[in-house]
């Protein structure tokens, strides 16, 4: 699988400017042969836009999702991004997966972080489902979700080989630990790949940690972005390259064996 992950500058601009950036970056990723391009949490509005996020939220059949699906269809590339969606239960902080010539997939963030998010969104209640990109079984989580080992483990047990995580991680010592340590550990303990994509820079409310990365089953960060600038990460991954890691660290196989005893 060829992956393109885009760490966006928080000062990219309004929703129109952000869509223009996503449109250009998607075309560029496709021209380089990427199978999937990934953007941060709430990439279409910016994470710190406050009540404007709710005001701009559309349903899944609105023009924003239609445009993302059009990009996926036109370029033959999967587009994964965070955005707010209006559902029957309220506005959710969602990850949208637009797959070429398929119905879009939506996952609503289950673990809302802090009073800011809890005032804006309704938490999701449905686990992330699996889908396929370039022959690999994939799933999505959103930001804080990945910090809960249960959320990643349930996807790995279900068969996920790679988990995409749009995020908006505010800068702090603890946030650096999450990006540099926890995310690779989640990949290692579940023997999967994790694509973790943050904002960088500042908006009116928050400064962001950056440090987006693609983590591998052996706990390494195949590639990582800096903490202070826009960045595009590219990687080619093959599950077979990490067969030895699975032999040495057979966590999922041991769990399955334990259940069968």
Please write the tens of the pLDDT for every residue from 163-196. 999 999 999 999 999 999 999 999 999 999 999 9
**pLDDT (tens digit per residue) in 5-49:** 999 999 999 999 999 999 999 999 999 999 999 999 999 999 999
User: How many Cβ atoms sit within 10 Å of the Cβ of residue 11?
Assistant: 14
pLDDT at position 256 is 87
| Contact (CB, 8 A) for 213 and 220 | no
Supply the pLDDT for residue 47. 98
Using alpha carbons, list the distances in angstroms from residue 134 to 1, 25, 256: 6, 20, 27
C-alpha span between 1 and 4 (Å, rounded): 10
- Name, in order, each residue with C-beta under 8 angstroms of 193's C-beta and a sequence gap of 6 or more: 161, 162, 163, 187, 214, 215, 216, 217, 237, 239
**Averaged pLDDT for residues 223-245:** 96
Query: Does residue 261 surpass a pLDDT of 80?
Result: no
What count of Cα atoms within 13 Å lies in the side-chain half-sphere of residue 62? Answer: 12
Task: Output the domain CATH number for residue 201.
Answer: 3.60.110.10
Give the catalytic positions in this structure: 41, 109, 143
- Structural domains in the chain (count): 1
Query: What pLDDT score was predicted for residue 227?
Result: 97
Burial class for 258, CB neighbours closer than 10 Å (0-12, 13-18, 19+) = exposed
**How far, in Å, CA of 214 to CA of 230, rounded?**
16
Whole-number average pLDDT of the chain: 96
Q: Quote the CA–CA distance of 161 and 104 in Å, as a whole number.
A: 20
| pLDDT tens per residue across span 145-156 | 999 999 999 999
Question: What number of other Cβ atoms are within 10 A of residue 242's Cβ?
Answer: 20
Please report the pLDDT score of residue 158 as a whole number.
96
Percent of the chain scored above 90 by pLDDT? 97
The stretch 216-225 carries a mean pLDDT of 98
Written as six digits, the tokens of 15 are: 């929703």
Closest-CA residue to 211 (of 256, 173, 176, 246):
176
State the DSSP H helix or E strand holding residue 3, giving kind and residue range, or none if neither.
Answer: strand 2-9
pLDDT of residue 260: 78
- Per-residue confidence at 69, pLDDT binned at 50, 70, 90? very high
**157 confidence band (pLDDT: 50, 70, 90):** very high
Q: To the nearest whole percent, how much of the chain has pLDDT over 70?
A: 100
Contacts 24+ apart (CB under 8 A), 158-162: 158/130, 159/130, 160/130, 160/192, 161/136, 161/137, 161/192, 161/193, 161/239, 162/1, 162/133, 162/136, 162/137, 162/138, 162/192, 162/193, 162/194, 162/195, 162/237
111 has a pLDDT exceeding 90: yes
Domain that holds residue 189: 2-260
Average pLDDT over residues 217-234: 98
Structure pTM? 0.97
Terminal-to-terminal C-alpha distance of the chain: 36
Segment 79-99 shows an average pLDDT of 97
How many angstroms from the chain centroid is the CA of residue 245? 24
Residue 20 confidence (pLDDT)? 97
């Amino acid at each position: 699988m060829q992956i393109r992950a885009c760490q966006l500058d928080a000062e990219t601009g309004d929703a129109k400017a952000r869509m223009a950036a996503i449109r250009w970056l998607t075309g560029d990723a496709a021209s380089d042969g990427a199978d999937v391009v990934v953007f941060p949490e709430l990439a279409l509005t910016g994470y710190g836009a406050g009540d404007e996020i709710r005001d701009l939220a559309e349903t899944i059949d609105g023009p924003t999702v239609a445009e993302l699906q059009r990009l996926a269809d036109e370029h033959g590339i999967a587009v994964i991004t965070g955005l707010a969606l209006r559902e029957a239960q309220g506005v959710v902080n969602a990850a949208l997966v637009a797959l070429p010539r398929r119905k879009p997939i939506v996952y609503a963030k289950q673990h809302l972080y802090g009073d800011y998010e809890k005032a804006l969104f309704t938490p999701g209640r449905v686990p992330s489902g699996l889908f396929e990109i370039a022959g690999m079984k994939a799933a999505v989580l959103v930001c804080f979700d990945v910090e809960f080992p249960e959320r990643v483990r349930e996807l790995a047990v279900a068969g996920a080989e790679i988990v995409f995580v749009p995020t908006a991680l505010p800068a702090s010592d603890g946030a650096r630990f999450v990006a540099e340590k926890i995310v690779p550990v989640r990949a290692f303990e579940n023997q999967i790949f994790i694509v973790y994509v943050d904002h960088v820079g500042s908006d009116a409310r928050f400064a962001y940690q950056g440090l987006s990365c693609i983590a591998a089953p052996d706990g390494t960060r195949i590639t990582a972005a800096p903490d202070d600038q826009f960045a595009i990460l590219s990687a080619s991954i093959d599950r077979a390259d990490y067969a030895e890691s699975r032999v040495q660290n057979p966590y999922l196989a041991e769990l399955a064996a334990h259940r069968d005893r």
